[in-house]
Structure 1
């Protein structure tokens, strides 16, 4: 790959980070196997289908020292001569950045005799020239067919003079923890390198994208392995090596691979359409915590809570509402919130899908005609239709001891204090007891309470009544929809203050 890079926004700890330059994935066959006597036969058969990928792009040079000598300084002439010798100053634009061509290395694997090659998106991202070196050292220019940043997959095409050796996709869903796997790649630009290990874990979410479902392996993966294949013991590709968990940038035995169950379908769509096509439901979701499950009457915390519904989207047309919990989608149980986006994305566009919801303490079934996800829909933050609400007649404030909150009806003074817009309605939180569960859950002054127990609230009396009703019913928590600085979210707030 081009370079090892660290993204501070994706740190897993102060010392350890996800590094997108190589990973190992581990997969299995349908049954447990003993350790192989040797990987030699399989390596000999598979090595010719693994390629080295080289990319290059023009990048701006650093523009000299960030200082100038004062007029009349004895160093002024020397500095001017230095700049002119380097192509800046006299006869040219001192501010015009110079450029040089930067190169980088990665790995890939051939999936068809006519030259289709799979790699990571981050291996070729930003490149204006891509070349592929085959196992016999022949180098061919490569064309980018398409890529998908969300799953970090890219598809290339070369024009070979003869049929190329290629590998087949395997079924990563059958890979079991503890099974053997083998990785081949181009670590540090050394060329075809074989490493082996086991599948250490499945379904890892490393916060790299919305569809994270990585295979974790302890096979040695290093810089330049990115985009290379992870094989099961049948010699089928069950993963694309993509990232490692490391304090130093080198392999410490924790690598991650994109499972073939995700990568294969993305590659096929890129091949057919030039881009991936994903199903779209049109909801904004959040995790169902234990407190939220308790407040809505679920026996266990699973599913995905609908925090918002996109206007005129498939979900709204099907009758899905803000506050619903999606339990099953197209016959598949939604074990956790992060599982739903992948299920939806993999579902055929236009399909009529049965969705099981939890609403008002009981299950409800609806049918959704799935739409197609567009790039501009990914960043939407539509919180659903807002109900017409009456402006409170008088401004007042009250303390809700059970929640550790002080709340108030919105008036001009509060709009100014918390920088609220003229059309903001609801009940504003003016203070939060730092010893309360509400503070622990993240409720902050300036947040706006929109709903309590699935009922819209427009003044503090309605909030107080909802809290009292929940207490009278013997509930431990109350569900509230609160507009935070990050958007609307449901909170399962405990009806008791923490001990100080």
Structure 2
């Protein structure tokens, strides 16, 4: 026992001596390092607002939805469709034309039974009917249409006053604002979907000719012509289009702004057609390339590339190179903003234009004009004068340009299309559209029979002429 105790004590003493020797002779001295404080520390922006997620009140759509569904109707149209001829058709002597049913939506806009919808919903309809939310069905009559904006106005004769939706101001609609889409997708009547405004002044053509409100409210086939309303139940758009490879909703839908739709139907009701006011410029969205050339540090606005002769813009003093920033105090960031706003105006309306020129802002009052003031319709072509800059650039002394054409014969046989230049008719030199107007007055309704020779310049700047026999 004594031997064991002695062994333990010796072992303990040896360990103490070994540790002491290590500490004294082998371990390096520990030095304390003091970190110098940065006098200008870098901070990342951080929100210290601790807002519970459920503290924000959820929007209430019930009142807006209830009021809107009673004013949205189911539109049914019957068109005659020509299909391929079958053996049975030949054997029984049946006609190839067969009735085809199409459906869509519409919005009642007053208690007397006026209904707004899309032109493509009722196009070529042989029979047209409207079913209300209470299942009453009426025959409908087309009052007028405008294919350019895809808006149509219908009329039914109800027995009693109808519920209707009031127009809101689509210019005041904001990106991120809640909206409801109400319509009849897939023949499912009175369907309501919700979303937000994703963008404004959207163009789907690539030509800056459209100005849609884009939303992420679900819209499918059958919703066309239905209502897009805000949370107050005010009509801010007519649901019109979707972009989809399948034909069904995939995330975005597009609506004609209510200010454009309202102006179109008011024109139809008052004038029988749409009165289009024109500013009188050609141009495009201001961009980085133009900003760099002009040594400017912003990229928003509409760059004026050309001013049309005899237009309100020319008379008011707008010049090539100007950058339009506002119309009537409404900000213009891109060309679609400008074209969309002008579509809400009529000829002789005065628009206040704020523009940037020579490093300063200028404000001009422009009286909108009719297209006819600087273009003319001839042989189903819309013709306009050549600008001085165009003549100089392409070394052309005279002629009128084809702005638009519905003359399929001239296109199929001669290739005449927008961009071609008419320089002579029946050996008469054509310098301006006034010369075209004189020829129209000379021949009247028989003009097509009296045009024997046509001279023109194609897009390759080659001079051509054709003699009609």
Q: TM-score, normalised by structure 1?
A: 0.60
Residues 148 and 83 from structure 1, CA distance in 2 versus in 1: closer, same or farther, beyond 3 angstroms?
Answer: closer
The reply to whether residue 85 of structure 1 matches residue 79 of structure 2 is no
* CA–CA separation in structure 1 for the residues paired with 2:96 and 2:226: 34
Give the Å deviation of 1:358. 4.6
Q: Which whole-Å deviations, capped at 9, do the CAs of 1:65-98 have from their partners, x for residues lacking one?
A: xxxxxxxxxxxxxx7xx6641428xxxxxxxx73
The aligned counterpart of 1:148 is: 146
Give the Å deviation of 1:282. 2.0
The aligned counterpart of 1:295 is: 293
The reply to whether residue 192 of structure 1 matches residue 183 of structure 2 is no
2:376–2:384 CA contact under 8 A, matched in 1: no
- Count the aligned residue pairs: 344
Q: How does 1:273-422 map to 2 (within 5 A)?
A: 273-359=271-357, 366-373=364-371, 382-385=385-388
Q: TM-score, normalised by structure 2?
A: 0.63
Give the Å deviation of 1:53. 0.3
* CA–CA separation in structure 2 for the residues paired with 1:267 and 1:422: 42
The aligned counterpart of 2:243 is: 245
The reply to whether residue 116 of structure 1 matches residue 114 of structure 2 is yes
Give the Å deviation of 1:125. 1.9
**Structure ranking higher on relative contact order (CA contacts 8 Å, 6+ apart):** 1
Give the Å deviation of 1:376. 6.0
Give the Å deviation of 1:304. 2.4
* CA–CA separation in structure 2 for the residues paired with 1:84 and 1:345: 50
1:322–1:384 CA contact under 8 A, matched in 2: no
The aligned counterpart of 1:54 is: 76
Residues 84 and 259 from structure 1, CA distance in 2 versus in 1: closer, same or farther, beyond 3 angstroms?
Answer: closer
1:110–1:165 CA contact under 8 A, matched in 2: yes
* CA–CA separation in structure 1 for the residues paired with 2:391 and 2:220: 57
The aligned counterpart of 2:57 is: 34
1:279–1:371 CA contact under 8 A, matched in 2: yes
2:304–2:323 CA contact under 8 A, matched in 1: yes
* CA–CA separation in structure 2 for the residues paired with 1:266 and 1:174: 19
Q: Which protein has the bigger helix share?
A: 2
**Structure 1 gaps, min length 5:** 1-31, 65-78, 89-96, 390-409, 411-419, 425-483, 488-500
Deviates more, 1:129-138 or 1:351-360: 351-360
Residues 182 and 376 from structure 1, CA distance in 2 versus in 1: closer, same or farther, beyond 3 angstroms?
Answer: farther
Give the Å deviation of 1:170. 2.4
Give the Å deviation of 1:253. 3.0
**Structure 2 gaps, min length 5:** 1-54, 399-457, 462-469
- Structure whose alpha-carbon radius of gyration is higher: 2
Q: Which whole-Å deviations, capped at 9, do the CAs of 1:104-156 have from their partners, x for residues lacking one?
A: 00001111111011111211122232211112222211111222222222111
State the superposition RMSD in angstroms: 3.6
Residues 171 and 307 from structure 1, CA distance in 2 versus in 1: closer, same or farther, beyond 3 angstroms?
Answer: closer
Give the Å deviation of 1:285. 1.6
Deviates more, 1:230-239 or 1:158-167: 230-239
Give the Å deviation of 1:362. 5.5
SS of 2:343's partner is: helix
* CA–CA separation in structure 2 for the residues paired with 1:346 and 1:191: 31
* CA–CA separation in structure 2 for the residues paired with 1:284 and 1:129: 42
* CA–CA separation in structure 1 for the residues paired with 2:66 and 2:364: 53
Residues 485 and 331 from structure 1, CA distance in 2 versus in 1: closer, same or farther, beyond 3 angstroms?
Answer: farther
